[in-house]
Amino acid sequence: MTRRQTLLTGGAALLAGAAPRAAWGRTEADVLIIGAGLAGLHAASLLEAQGVRVIVIEGERRVGGCMHTLDDLPGAPEAGGVQIGSGYHRIIGLTKRHGIPLEPAPSIDRNVLYHIGGRSVTMADWPGSDANRLPAPERAIPPGALGPAFGARMAALPTPQSWMEPNAAALDISYAAALAQAGASAEAIRLIDANLNGNSVHSLSALHVARTAAIFRASPGPLLMIGGGSQRLPEAMAATLATPPRLGQQVAAIAESPENVTVTLTNGKTITARHALCTIPFAALRTIPIEAPISRDLAALIAGLPYSRASFAYLAASDAFWKSDGLPETLWSDDPLIGRVFALGEDPPMLKVWLSGPNAGRLDRMPRDVAAGAIIARIEAARPAARGKLRLARLFSWQRSPMARGIYHHIAPGQAATLAAGCRARGNRLHFAGEHLAQGSSGMEGSLESAEQAVATMLGRLGT
If you write DSSP's letter for every residue of 160-184 in order, what string do you get? TTGGGSGGGGGG-SBHHHHHHHTT-
Does 435 appear as a known binding residue?
Answer: yes
Buried b (16+ CB within 10 A) or exposed e, 157-195: beebbbbbeeebeebbbbbbebbbebebbeebbbbbbbb
Question: Could you give the CA distance from residue 24 to residue 273 in angstroms, rounded to a whole number?
Answer: 8
| 3-state secondary structure (DSSP) of residue 204 | coil
Residue type present at position 125: D
CA dihedral 404, 407, 413, 418 (to 10 degrees): 50
Enumerate residues 6+ apart whose C-beta is below 8 A from 304.
412, 415
What is the DSSP code (8-state) at residue 453? H
Enumerate residues 6+ apart whose C-beta is below 8 A from 323.
329, 346
If you write DSSP's letter for every residue of 78-134 in order, what string do you get? BSS---B-TT-HHHHHHHHHTT--EEEPPPP----EEEETTEEEETTTGGG-TT---
Long-range contacts of 337-345 (CB under 8 A, 24+ apart): 337/362, 337/363, 337/371, 337/374, 337/375, 337/378, 338/115, 338/375, 338/378, 338/379, 338/382, 339/194, 339/195, 340/195, 341/379, 344/75, 344/77, 344/314, 345/75
**Among 59, 37, 35, 36, which Cα is nearest to 248's?**
59
Does 201 appear as a known binding residue?
Answer: no
Known binding residues for FAD: 251, 435
Known binding residues: 251, 435
